[in-house]
Amino acid sequence: MNLKTARQADLIACHFCDTLNQVPNIDETANAKQEYYCSCCQSEIHSRIPNSLSTTWALLISAIILYIPANTLPIMTVVMWGDGQPDTIMSGVFHLLDSGMWPLALLIFVASIFIPVLKLIILTGLLLSVYFKTHWKPRDRTVLYRITEFVGRWSMVDIFVIGILVSLVQFGNTASVSAGIGALSFAAVVILTMFAAHSFDPRLIWDVIDDERLVQHQFQQVNKT
Amino acid sequence: MSAIPNTVQIKKHHSQTSLTHMACPECDLLQAIPPLAVGESVLCLRCGKSLYTHHKNSIDRSLAFAITGLILYIIANMFPLLSLKALGLTQDSTLISTALALFQADRPFLSVVMLLTTIIFPATTLIGTIYILIQVKTNTTDAFTAPLFRFLQSTDAWGMLEIFMLAMLVAIVKLGDVADVIFGVSLYAFVLLILSLTLLSASLDPHDVWNKLREKKG
Ligand SMILES: [Zn+2]
Ligand SMILES: [Zn+2]
């Protein structure tokens, strides 16, 4: 079959409107001065997201570092009759379990612990797989990327719960809720991983395979003649 | 998904109005987009990414859902969503009061995050979508339509009202144990708003708007 990637056909697809723009000899090396714009929507177009790997690494490493205070510092303090009880993400889950609210405990566990950790692991794995130019299951890796990108924002649920509690429970010294530094770090982790997923270009997963296929193809042609 | 005869020959794609070929945004494979019946979608041959879906009356339906959504959004912001009754006192909460409470509690960063994800981006999405769809319908698109639509596409993931909905459910169950939680008038509007937003994103394929813009350019 005559299958090609857009780049092999000297085309750049627009990120927004998917218009295929003909660009002969695409040069996206670091010192290339040429910038290309979409013929339909005038946005700047790139065959691959520029500096995708280094940007994603930077965002991901910041997220991993912030993940530590996000889990060790209190995300919320509930003050009842003058007594404050600070909770971290994990101790909050245990309190819910203790009071018999296991569906809520499960929900918060999935949104605040399972998804962020999974996301950090998947993104690290994807970056390493591109770095080591592996050919391992490109389709599965693309699906993993798609899931990460889709599901990541739901981790914000705990931050919103804290916001609602802070705004609702305002009864002075009798009962009040305040947001801790942990919540700040956690929100930053979620936002950074969202940006990290966004800056990762899944086409890099396929490039290794496509480049070699093209080389083989040319090699066969040379042999025939 | 239908079988696609894949002859990658692109002619005159500068003047194409609807897309005859597309490169998969996730694996870059170039493939033909066949004419689709209503409700059909094309998946990437190689990685399974959904490339294009043909929705019925996409522009009209999306406009209806967006206008309904905007009305519900206004109602949802006018009255309390939830109220808490304890010790003879009642504390109300709205979308904006949640963001402001965090600001007063010395958490400006969280406050800004709440403000953007639950108020500003949902509002720009609704108002911007209505504006663009009306322009597309009346054929009055101008030089600002494309940049505005690009802005809406890139901020789409940052409107998080459906996540706020889930957070309210969690808060209701958590507080229900210790105090009286009263459902505000706006809560019902809010639930319907989430429904309209879901229907909106399910009825609009951005390509339908871009195709119109391309058509106009000729
Ligand atoms: Zn474009
Ligand atoms: Zn693909």
**C-beta neighbour count of B35 within 10 angstroms:** 9
- For the record, the structure tokens of B155 come out as 């901020």
**Per-residue pLDDT tens for A67-107?**
999 999 999 999 888 788 899 999 999 999 998 899 999 99
- Residue B151 distance to chain A (closest CA, Å): 10
A13/B22 touch (CB, cutoff 8 Å), yes or no = yes
- Average pLDDT in the A100-116 region? 94
Q: For residue B87, which residues of chain A lie inside 8 Å, CB to CB? A: 171, 174-175
Residue B6 has pLDDT above 50, yes or no: no
Q: Is A222 exposed, middle or buried (CB count within 10 Å of its CB: 0-12, 13-18, 19+)?
A: exposed
Q: Is B107 helix (H, G, I), strand (E, B) or coil?
A: coil
Nearest to B173 among A4, A101, A191 (CB): A101
Contact B27, A22 (CB under 8 A): no
> Could you tell me whether strands A175-179 and B21-23 are parallel, antiparallel, or unpaired per DSSP bridges?
unpaired
Contact A11, B14 (CB under 8 A): no
The pLDDT score that the predictor gives to residue B7 is: 40
A160/B91 touch (CB, cutoff 8 Å), yes or no = no
**Per-residue pLDDT tens for B115-150?**
999 999 999 999 999 999 999 999 999 989 999 999
The pLDDT score that the predictor gives to residue B200 is: 96
**Per-residue pLDDT tens for B14-71?**
434 567 899 999 999 999 998 888 889 999 999 999 999 999 889 999 999 999 999 9
Residue B8 pLDDT grade (very low, low, confident, very high; cuts 50, 70, 90): very low
The pLDDT score that the predictor gives to residue A37 is: 92
Residue B8's nearest CA partner among B24, B168, B161, B172 is B24
Contact B162, B197 (CB under 8 A): yes
Dist. CA B19–CA A58, nearest whole Å: 36
Inter-helix orientation angle A181-199/A115-131, to 10°? 40
> Can you give the pTM of this predicted structure?
0.91
Residue of chain A whose Cα is closest to the Cα of B111: A163
**∠ Cα B121 B127 B131 (to 5°):** 135
Contact A206, B28 (CB under 8 A): yes
Q: Which of residues 76-135 of B touch A (CB under 8 A)?
A: 82-84, 86-87, 89, 91, 93, 97-102, 105, 107, 109-110, 113-114, 117-118
Residue B216 has pLDDT above 90, yes or no: no
Q: Considering every ligand atom shown, identify the ligand nearest to the alpha carbon of residue A40 and give its number.
A: 1
Residue A134 has pLDDT above 60, yes or no: yes
The CA–CA distances, whole Å, from B140 to B44, B128, B136, B177 equal 33, 15, 6, 55
Contact A110, A91 (CB under 8 A): no
The pLDDT score that the predictor gives to residue A145 is: 97
* Sign of the dihedral through C-alpha B36, A5, B17, B48: positive
Residue A29 pLDDT grade (very low, low, confident, very high; cuts 50, 70, 90): low
Q: Considering every ligand atom shown, identify the ligand nearest to the alpha carbon of residue A16 and give its number.
A: 1
A179/B217 touch (CB, cutoff 8 Å), yes or no = no
Q: Is A135 helix (H, G, I), strand (E, B) or coil?
A: coil
Q: Is the Cβ of B182 closer than 8 Å to some Cβ of chain A?
A: no
- Listed by start position, the domains of chain A span 1-47, 51-224
- The alpha-carbon radius of gyration of chain A (Å, integer) is 24
Residue B9 has pLDDT above 80, yes or no: no
- Phi (first) and psi of residue A10, to 5 degrees: 60, 40
- Average pLDDT in the B76-100 region? 91
Average pLDDT, chain A: 90
The pLDDT score that the predictor gives to residue B214 is: 86
Residue A27 has pLDDT above 80, yes or no: no
